[in-house]
Amino acid sequence: MKFAAPQPTKQPLEQRDKSKHCAYYRDYRHTTSDCRSLRRQGSVNIGFGDGNLSKVQLPHEDPLVISLLVVNCMIKRVLIDPSSSANIITKVVFEQLEIPSSSIWLTSSPLMGFDGTKVDPLRVIDLSVTTTKRTLKENFILMEIHPSYNLIMGRGWIHRMNRVPSTLHQVMRCLSPNDKEVINFRGDQVAAKECYMLAQNAAKKVAKQPQRIAPPRSMSK
């Protein structure tokens, strides 16, 4: 679909609100979701621009960490990970949801790490995940691990919800159910840094643990 070229604004640049950036006009005048021109032309751009950085602490290397409604419980410290092929829930978080154990089942499919190593999951369970007035039953791998994140949402869920995440802009964007406006899910940089510190502390504890060395075997003459 071809759009008519937007008309430039006459307001001086120094007088414009830099927090309101429109991807269609490529200018600071209003947000993309409030762009009437795009609405009239039947499309809304869910891309990112410099205006989306106004609420971000820069510079940063933070992952995208949000809060998510799962089984009617708001869970914090949820990592949005497009590199993961699976949704992962820890055993500790699962037990706090108080879901009957009859809802889970065994799986024989291992998870593959980026280095090719295999990790055997405990169980598999379907949990309802709700965002933007839309609820999906998502498949979660139940793992007995102790990461700094409570949940990991993989690219399958991101694609099914038509979301576009950006770690730089610390936001995950999608269209509303009527496709007429952009909805933002902002990342929590404070939580992301806390998760990083938890992971660092856990790594230090492992490094300080004494290594068990097997006694030398006697050699027969």
What pLDDT was estimated at residue 28?
72
pLDDT of residue 39: 58
What pTM did the predictor assign?
0.69
Look up residue 120 and give its amino acid.
Answer: D
* DSSP string for 80-136: E-TT-SSEEEEHHHHHHTT--GGGEE---PPEE-TTS-EE--SEEEEEEEEETTEEE
Q: What is the pLDDT of residue 206?
A: 55
List, for residues 24-42, the tens digit of each pLDDT value: 566 776 776 677 665 555 5
Domains and CATH numbers, the chain: 13-45 (no CATH), 65-204 (2.40.70.10)
Instruction: Provide block-wise average pLDDT over 10 residues at a time, the chain (221 residues).
Output: 51 69 68 65 70 90 94 92 90 86 73 64 84 86 85 92 90 79 89 90 65 46 42
Q: How far is it, in rounded angstroms, from Cα 29 to Cα 21?
A: 6
pLDDT at 38: 58
pLDDT of residue 42: 53
b/e map of 81-117 (b: 16 or more CB within 10 Å)?
bbebebbbbbeebbeeeeeeeeebeeeeeebeeeeee
Q: What is the pLDDT of residue 170?
A: 95
**What is the structure's pLDDT at 7?**
58
Tokens of 69: 């409604």
C-beta separation of 182 from 44 below 8 A:
yes
- Whether residue 79 contacts residue 61, with contact meaning beta carbons closer than 8 Å, is answered with no
The pLDDT, as a whole number, for residue 221 is: 42
